[in-house]
Chains A and B, each alone.
Chain A
């Protein structure tokens, strides 16, 4: 029988890298992703005694990570509102200033356009496009039906196409 510390260390070994990439895509910069990931693993450790094994460990861990990323985005929105700014613009600024972004101009435009999506669409797009999770996996993690996820992904894609073509025209 494994101790809670051993189970936790196993989760860290197995999931920390994949969850980092998910969180990084959600929040936009390495620094914020690093801070948030630590909070997420603290939550996982705190909640570990309540994990009953009804869901797969994989689903449970991902659910905490993606919910906490959404909460982070909501906090940013509130902070931005109190400063009369737009949270989306702040994330876009961070993407532009991130020293660990080394993609092409087109990839940067895509990251910025994704940051402007409504949070749920952003979540589905990140999980499908970058994390390469299946709709069934995303459904188990988020509790949203496969049909609704497909619709969200389609709408997100359409918005991104429009947004990217507009930014291309404005250059």
Chain B
């Protein structure tokens, strides 16, 4: 079997491609997801420090680590699913099907999910 000549491109494609690619430096470069969310992360970190300080000063009983995690999951769930369409269950009980349904209902984009996981530095 021959290795090549089984796929082709539209006529003049490579010439156009070269011209198109050479205009890229003039275009605005979009910031990465991390760069976009970093101001929000800074606010979140400041808020966390303030809450921690308030807890310490007013001697509020500390919740267990598990409770904190559960609070965070509840908060995240409310942000992604404000209408409460999805019943919240403990993470260990979640099936693939439920995770899938949750992601669909949350409307989080595939690009956001993947770019957080696979962001590469070259």
Contact = CB atoms under 8 A, between A and B. Distances in A.
A106 B104 CA distance: 38
A41 B21 contact: yes
Interface residues of A, number: 50
A120 interface: no
B1 A110 contact: yes
Nearest to A75: B114
B120 interface: yes
Contacts, number: 96
Nearest to A5: B25
B8 A102 contact: yes
A103 B7 CA distance: 6
Contacts of A130: 3-4
Interface stretch (B12-20, B38-46, B85-93): B12-20
Given A13-B18, A16-B18, A37-B17, A45 B7 contact: no
A116 interface: no
Interface string B6-50: 111110001001101110110101000000000000000000000
Contacts of B1: 104, 106-107, 110
A78 B21 contact: no
Interface of B: 1-10, 14, 17-18, 20-22, 24-25, 27, 29, 100, 103-104, 110-111, 113-114, 118, 120-122
